[in-house]
Amino acid sequence: MFGVKTAPAIFNANMRKLMHSCNGRGPIKCAQMVDDVCLSGDTPEEHFANLAEFLYRLYACGLKANLSKCSFYKDEVRFLGKIVDRRGVRLDTSTTDAIIKMPAPRDKSQLRSFLGFLSYVSKHIPDLRSARAPLDYLIKPDIKFIWDINHGEAFTRCKQLAGNSALLTHFDPTKPIVLTTDASPYGVGACLSHKVVINNRTRLLPIAYASASLKDAQRNYAQVDREGLGVFWGINNFRQYLLCSNFELHTDCSALVKIFGPKNNLQGCAAGRLSRWATSLMEYSFTVKHIKGSSNNTADSLSRLPVVTPG
């Protein structure tokens, strides 16, 4: 590869290798993106050891750190547009302000930039997919860019949601995990949470939100199939958290309790795609719990996309 265009990607790849191993030493507990590195540790001693190892690797490779841009032993860290502390991860005000202050796009290129920014913060916003649906429709190749009042309202709504983004709790494999899924004729949604007891009340603390629009063929599925797709998509979307872990699956579709439950006995009641999805998910260890639709507001809002009239 030649020229400077690929330099950032090459530099980032080399930094990842450096953080993973150096002179026979193993990986450092850190988050890294290009030249931004955030070191961590479960204890002050571990954090100090990671810092010493990091500085050694920089020295061994002839790299230097700008001391004026370094921070040490902080309880709160600003990293890649987000703030990380002991409570969890939230969006930095500089990130949300940048979204809120964006002017209305004048072409598809500017709209894609705005939607790309929203995608970066989507884990913090439970009903973003619903709000941005008219904007997603507008960037389709066969749709002419004509900005109207519906797009303006969706644009404003997206910025409001970004300004009220959620605090996401840190993932802890020792705490109970709950995945809540739902589906509508327009999309599927999932919310990964920890089940905790606070003041003698059981609460679900969100770890991440996710949602996706359905393809045209998927919109023709029966509702039970769409609900099954929501389960299949949601579990695989959060695979890195759920594989080799025991978790609860919450759904407001009672039929899925039998289809995806550990004692499922399909016997022809879930032929075709539902049977294939249930078989595919057997590598996971989970129990299925039916919840009332009125209690499934989070995942429900992720999947409910408004009808977009072709224009």
d(CA 209, CA 302): 8
Least confident among 82-91, 212-221, 243-252, 295-304: 295-304
- Regarding whether 141 and 214 lie in a shared domain, the answer is no
> For the chain, how many residues are written?
311
pLDDT band at 265 (very low <50, low <70, confident <90, very high): low
- Regarding whether 181 and 99 lie in a shared domain, the answer is no
Place of tokens 């979307």: 237
Please give the tally of structural domains in the chain: 3
Average pLDDT, the chain: 85
Domain boundary among 139, 163, 187: 163
pLDDT band at 229 (very low <50, low <70, confident <90, very high): very high
The reply to whether 84 falls in a domain is: no
List, for residues 79-94, the tens digit of each pLDDT value: 888 999 888 999 999 9
pLDDT above 60: residue 268? no
Query: Residue 252, SS3?
Result: coil
- Regarding whether 295 and 202 lie in a shared domain, the answer is yes
- Regarding whether 249 and 206 lie in a shared domain, the answer is yes
d(CA 301, CA 304): 5
| Burial annotation 83-118 (CB, 10 A radius, 16+ → b, else e) | bbeeebbbbeeebbeebeebeebeeeeebeebbebb
pLDDT above 90: residue 22? no
Residue 164: per-residue pLDDT: 87
Give the list of residues 6+ apart from residue 146 with CB closer than 8 angstroms, or none: 311
Residue 263: per-residue pLDDT: 63
Q: What is the rounded average pLDDT of the residues 249-274?
A: 76
The reply to whether 258 falls in a domain is: yes
Query: Residue 30, SS3?
Result: strand
- Regarding whether 293 and 243 lie in a shared domain, the answer is yes
The reply to whether 310 falls in a domain is: no
pLDDT band at 310 (very low <50, low <70, confident <90, very high): very low
pLDDT above 50: residue 247? yes
Residue 105: per-residue pLDDT: 94
pLDDT above 90: residue 200? no
Residue 304: per-residue pLDDT: 42
The reply to whether 146 falls in a domain is: yes
Among 200, 194, 197, CA closest to 176: 194
- Regarding whether 100 and 57 lie in a shared domain, the answer is no
Which structural domain range is residue 50 located in?
7-73
CATH (domain of 231): 3.30.420.10
pLDDT band at 237 (very low <50, low <70, confident <90, very high): very high
The reply to whether 281 falls in a domain is: yes
- Regarding whether 186 and 265 lie in a shared domain, the answer is yes
List, for residues 31-82, the tens digit of each pLDDT value: 888 888 999 888 889 999 999 999 999 999 899 888 998 988 888 888 888 9
pLDDT above 90: residue 255? no
Domain boundary among 73, 98, 126: 73
260 sits in which H/E element: helix 255-260
- Regarding whether 282 and 188 lie in a shared domain, the answer is yes
The reply to whether 172 falls in a domain is: no
pLDDT above 60: residue 110? yes
- Regarding whether 262 and 181 lie in a shared domain, the answer is yes
- Regarding whether 111 and 53 lie in a shared domain, the answer is no
The reply to whether 81 falls in a domain is: no
List, for residues 123-140, the tens digit of each pLDDT value: 898 867 778 889 988 999
d(CA 158, CA 115): 9
pLDDT band at 305 (very low <50, low <70, confident <90, very high): very low
- Regarding whether 68 and 124 lie in a shared domain, the answer is no
Domain boundary among 73, 105, 131: 73
d(CA 14, CA 34): 9
- Regarding whether 130 and 192 lie in a shared domain, the answer is no
Burial class of residue 154 in the structure, from the number of CB atoms within 10 Å of its CB (0-12 exposed, 13-18 middle, 19+ buried): buried
User: pLDDT > 70: what percent of the chain?
Assistant: 89
The reply to whether 204 falls in a domain is: yes
